[in-house]
């Protein structure tokens, strides 16, 4: 069963936190509210799909400043920005920093729902990409040193005969290692193996 998305709402305005929280819960989302950056950082953040609805105007550090620091805190949540004092420069800065949307208070309920839905979908897609990347690394690490060599040479475009000469082994042995590499990596085709090599950043011989 897929966990319900968790939306973090960070705003020092209590009435706004309650309003956004009520709106999001009405469509079946889980919500955690926070009145300050410190409160948000101290709160538990379950490893589930979600996003951060972040107010621009916060006591101490601004929402834009905190947005730029999320990665340093190990937080990869997509951000929806909101403010009652929005202007074009702030909008541009926030969007350039990767915000999914920027809402000026008072905003329509549907605009918030649309923005949060888009942010949750972005997080779901990014999580899938990270999981795929981690799986590819784990598969590569399961290869023997020789199989890793063969993978690098195969994905560099060398023929079995050329790989045999490069490694000083028989062509039949190359075929065996190549087959084992394809199987362990879960690659059905050579182009698929090449994409995996690219994702791994394998250094290919000239």
Of the candidates 128, 127, 129, 109, which has an alpha carbon nearest to the alpha carbon of residue 117? 109
Do 52 and 41 contact (CB within 8 A), yes or no? no
Percent of the chain with pLDDT over 70: 95
Of the candidates 98, 114, 2, 5, which has an alpha carbon nearest to the alpha carbon of residue 50? 5
Of 33-37, 166-170, 198-202, the range with the lowest mean pLDDT is 198-202
pLDDT tens, residue by residue, 103-144: 988 899 999 999 999 999 999 999 888 888 889 999 999 999
pTM score: 0.72
pLDDT tens, residue by residue, 58-84: 888 888 889 889 888 889 999 999 987
Q: Can you give the pLDDT at residue 206?
A: 46
CA–CA distances in Å: residue 76 to residues 48, 111, 114: 11, 23, 20
> Is 52 or 58 the better-scoring residue by pLDDT?
52
pLDDT tens, residue by residue, 163-180: 999 999 999 999 999 999
CA distance 46 to 134: 19
DSSP code per residue over 20-78? HHHHHHTTT-EEEEESSHHHHHHS---SSSEEEEEES--SSS-HHHHHHHTGGGT----
Within a 13 Å sphere around the CA of 193, how many CA atoms are in the beta-carbon half? 24
> Is 205 or 41 the better-scoring residue by pLDDT?
41
Q: At 36, is the pLDDT very low, low, confident or very high (cuts 50, 70, 90)?
A: very high
SS3 state of residue 9 = strand
Tokens of 190: 């050579």
């Amino acid at each position: 069963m897929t966990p319900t998305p968790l939306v973090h709402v960070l705003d020092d305005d209590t009435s706004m936190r309650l309003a956004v929280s009520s709106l999001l819960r009405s469509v079946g989302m889980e919500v955690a509210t926070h009145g300050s950056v410190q409160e948000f950082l101290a709160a538990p953040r379950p490893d589930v799909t979600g996003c951060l609805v972040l107010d621009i105007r916060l006591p101490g550090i601004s929402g834009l400043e905190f947005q730029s620091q999320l990665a340093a805190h190990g937080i990869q949540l997509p951000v929806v920005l909101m403010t009652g004092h929005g202007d074009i420069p702030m909008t541009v800065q926030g969007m350039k920093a990767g915000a999914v949307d920027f809402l000026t208070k008072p905003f329509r309920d549907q605009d918030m729902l649309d923005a949060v839905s888009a942010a949750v979908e972005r997080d779901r897609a990014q999580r899938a990409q990270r999981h795929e990347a981690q799986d590819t690394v784990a598969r590569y690490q399961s290869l023997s040193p020789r199989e890793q060599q063969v993978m690098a040479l195969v994905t560099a475009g060398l023929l079995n005969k050329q790989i045999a000469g490069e490694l000083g082994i028989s062509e039949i042995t190359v075929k065996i290692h190549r087959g084992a590499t394809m199987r362990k990596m879960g690659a059905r085709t050579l182009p698929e193996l090449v994409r995996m090599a690219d994702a791994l950043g394998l250094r290919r011989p000239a």
